[in-house]
């Protein structure tokens, strides 16, 4: 007797069409395609895992795994008792273009570009963390406790320097994880590293400093931020040991912005000899601004302490005659979510009071409730546990992308893989236009950054790929697309 046919009316799914040992991937691909083409619109409820598994005649674990992968991609979500719902699909933005200048000379944001549904495309923009891993349950528990225990007068306008409870929780955490020797009175709570840069840039400009050295290649966002606030970014070359301090000295700049623990975008670490040379240069300069943007995520190397931790600590009574030169900035944007807009800033002591005043003039103070929730997560150890969990997820994702690229593009050079949320791919061919290559990849459904976007001066081409926001199977798909486009052009 013939075996009864298996399948379900839901999307007319038939497991007989699935590859051997590939049921989860087959189901994920089918659901993803249905979300992309509108057959499963936002708000649509997916079948219960037991129901769909029974209809298809497959293990419930296969359906659970498929729903988990789609949740990781941000395509579905749900809560206990509410089922699994299709979420409104985010969009895959087009590559940014060089901003146009309005009449007053201030830069505008990127010009509009075509967008692709993320279900049909993969956004490998660097700097995007795994937003699906946000610790919602831990955050809700902490927020509930904060709202229960916080007296009414704490909900007024807060201290522009930041809530003392958060600063007192951050100081020992920074000492333990990044080697900083600071107290709560040294910390300024800011709306991310961008606000720290903006406040400091305005102060430098008022002090008559009109330029700042930046790494080249380096963060395009930092370059545009400094330009906006009236500082001219001076490009300084980066090599395998990080920022070239001899080139920094020759630049004539008296301030510098850099990412020493994991240079963006090359991923190199500022070598010990360079660190010593930079600290020596700083003694006769005005400022070193250290952006510690993703130091929590390392996989194949020992932790690198913050540059600020190595800076000479002058005797307090001598601050006036021996001012400190190192400023340090970090945030929760890569560890939790950029939307929180929570960061910390350790400026030189002689600049602290003016920066607090500038923070007050800018936005009065950072949100109190969010500060208290973060403080509670730090105090309870939940923040550290979350970082360890996400670090393991990121490592698996890095391994998937790295392995796929090395298997399919053996002639490519991949670097910056030991830490962070992105890697850099360079190709051996001469005269490669990485912007054109990025445009071709975008047309094929994969958004990447060409390395030239992050340069001010000419240099070798490459692609900067972020991997934290996608599960391994999607990263392997992206690698296959990259390989196909590169080989099609004969590179």
Same structural domain, 413 and 452: yes
Phi, psi of 237 (to 5 degrees): -65, 150
Domain boundary at 66, 89, 112, which?
Answer: 89
pLDDT in tens, 174-199: 999 999 999 999 999 999 999 999 99
Sequential DSSP letters for 261-327: SS-TTT-PPPPHHHHHHHHHHHTTSSEEEEE-SSTT-BSSS-----HHHHS----GGGTTTS---EE
Same structural domain, 340 and 424: no
Asked if residue 2 belongs to a domain, the reply is no
pLDDT of residue 5: 47
CA–CA separation, 99 vs 75, rounded Å? 31
pLDDT in tens, 322-364: 579 999 999 999 999 999 999 999 999 999 999 999 999 999 9
- Look up residue 384 and give its two tokens: 């550290």
Same structural domain, 107 and 157: no
pLDDT of residue 73: 80
Asked if residue 3 belongs to a domain, the reply is no
pLDDT of residue 316: 47
Asked if residue 345 belongs to a domain, the reply is yes
Q: Which of 77-91, 289-303, 417-431, 445-459 has the highest mean pLDDT?
A: 445-459
Query: Given pLDDT bands bounded at 50, 70 and 90, which one contains residue 205?
Result: very high
Phi, psi of 124 (to 5 degrees): -100, 30
Same structural domain, 172 and 223: yes
CA–CA separation, 371 vs 369, rounded Å? 5
Query: Given pLDDT bands bounded at 50, 70 and 90, which one contains residue 11?
Result: confident
H or E segment to which residue 343 belongs: strand 343-346
Query: Given pLDDT bands bounded at 50, 70 and 90, which one contains residue 100?
Result: very low
pLDDT in tens, 39-55: 888 888 999 999 999 98
Nearest alpha-carbon partner for 469 in 31, 18, 49, 93: 93
Q: Rounded mean pLDDT of 283-299? A: 94
Asked if residue 423 belongs to a domain, the reply is yes
pLDDT in tens, 115-155: 444 445 899 999 889 999 999 999 999 999 999 999 999 99
H or E segment to which residue 290 belongs: strand 287-291
The residue assigned the tokens 């890569």 is 334
Same structural domain, 96 and 233: no
Q: Residue 371: which CATH number?
A: 3.40.640.10
Phi, psi of 441 (to 5 degrees): -65, -40
Asked if residue 1 belongs to a domain, the reply is no
H or E segment to which residue 287 belongs: strand 287-291
Total of domains in the chain: 3
- 402, 417 contact by CB (below 8 A): yes
- Look up residue 426 and give its two tokens: 């360079």
Domain boundary at 53, 74, 89, which?
Answer: 89
pLDDT of residue 109: 36
Return the beta strands (E) in 183-265 as ranges. Answer: 188-190, 211-216, 232-239, 242-243, 255-258
Asked if residue 433 belongs to a domain, the reply is yes
Rounded-to-5 percentages of helix, strand, coil across the chain? 45, 15, 40
Same structural domain, 254 and 380: yes
Q: Residue 450: which CATH number?
A: 3.90.1150.10
Number of H helices, E strands in the chain: 15, 18
Q: Which domain holds residue 77?
A: 10-89
- Look up residue 290 and give its two tokens: 């250290």
99 vs 37, residue with greater confidence: 37
H or E segment to which residue 83 belongs: strand 83-86
Same structural domain, 284 and 319: yes
CA–CA separation, 363 vs 162, rounded Å? 12
The residue length of the chain stands at: 491
Asked if residue 301 belongs to a domain, the reply is yes
Same structural domain, 199 and 295: yes
Exposed e or buried b for every residue in 123-150, given b needs 16+ CB within 10 A? bbbbbbbbebbbbeebbebbbeebeeee
Same structural domain, 239 and 306: yes
Same structural domain, 105 and 75: no
Same structural domain, 350 and 430: no
Same structural domain, 294 and 155: yes
- 62, 18 contact by CB (below 8 A): no
- Look up residue 197 and give its two tokens: 């840069």
């Amino acid at each position: 007797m013939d075996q009864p046919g298996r399948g379900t009316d839901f999307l007319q799914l038939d497991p007989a069409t699935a590859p051997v040992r590939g049921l989860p991937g087959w189901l994920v691909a089918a659901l993803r395609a249905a979300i992309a083409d509108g057959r499963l619109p936002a708000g649509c409820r997916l079948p219960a895992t037991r129901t769909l598994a029974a209809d298809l005649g497959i293990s419930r674990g296969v359906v659970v795994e498929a729903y988990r992968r789609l949740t990781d991609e941000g395509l579905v979500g749900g809560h206990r008792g509410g089922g699994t719902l299709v979420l409104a699909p985010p969009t895959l933005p087009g590559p940014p273009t060089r901003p146009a200048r309005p009449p007053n000379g201030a830069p505008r944001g990127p010009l509009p570009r075509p967008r692709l549904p993320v279900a049909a495309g993969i956004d490998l923009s660097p700097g995007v963390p795994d937003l699906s891993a946000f610790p919602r349950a831990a955050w809700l528990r902490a927020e509930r406790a904060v709202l229960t225990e916080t007296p009414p007068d704490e909900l007024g306008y807060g201290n522009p320097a930041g809530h003392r409870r958060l600063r007192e929780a951050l100081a020992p955490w920074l000492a333990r994880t990044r080697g900083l020797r600071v107290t709560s009175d040294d910390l300024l709570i800011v709306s991310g590293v961008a606000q720290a840069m903006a406040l400091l840039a305005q102060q430098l400009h008022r002090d008559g400093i009109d330029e700042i050295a930046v790494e080249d290649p380096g963060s395009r966002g930092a370059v545009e931020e400094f330009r906006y606030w009236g500082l001219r970014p001076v490009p300084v070359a980066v090599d395998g040991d990080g920022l070239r301090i001899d080139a920094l000295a020759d630049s004539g700049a008296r301030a510098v912005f850099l990412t020493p623990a994991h240079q963006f975008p090359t991923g190199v670490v500022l070598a010990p000899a360079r660190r010593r040379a930079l600290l020596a240069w700083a003694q006769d300069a005005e400022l070193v601004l250290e952006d510690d943007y993703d130091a929590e995520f390392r996989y194949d190397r020992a932790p690198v302490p913050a540059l600020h931790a190595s800076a000479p600590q002058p005797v307090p009574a001598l601050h006036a005659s021996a001012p400190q030169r190192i400023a340090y900035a970090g945030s929760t944007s890569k560890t939790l979510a950029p939307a929180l807009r929570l960061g910390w800033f350790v400026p030189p002591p002689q600049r602290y009071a003016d920066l607090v005043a500038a923070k007050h003039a800018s936005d009065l103070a950072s949100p109190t409730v969010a500060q208290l929730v973060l403080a509670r997560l730090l105090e309870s150890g939940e923040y550290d546990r979350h970082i360890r969990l996400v670090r393991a997820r990121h490592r698996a994702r890095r391994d998937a992308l790295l392995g796929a690229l090395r298997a399919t593009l053996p002639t490519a050079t991949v670097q910056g893989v030991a830490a962070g949320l992105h890697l850099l791919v360079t190709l051996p061919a001469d005269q490669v236009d990485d912007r054109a290559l990025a445009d071709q990849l975008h047309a094929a459904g994969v958004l990447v950054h060409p390395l030239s976007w992050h340069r001010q001066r000419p240099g070798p081409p490459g692609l900067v790929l972020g991997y934290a926001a996608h599960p391994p199977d999607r990263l392997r798909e992206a690698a296959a697309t990259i390989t196909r486009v590169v080989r099609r052009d004969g590179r």
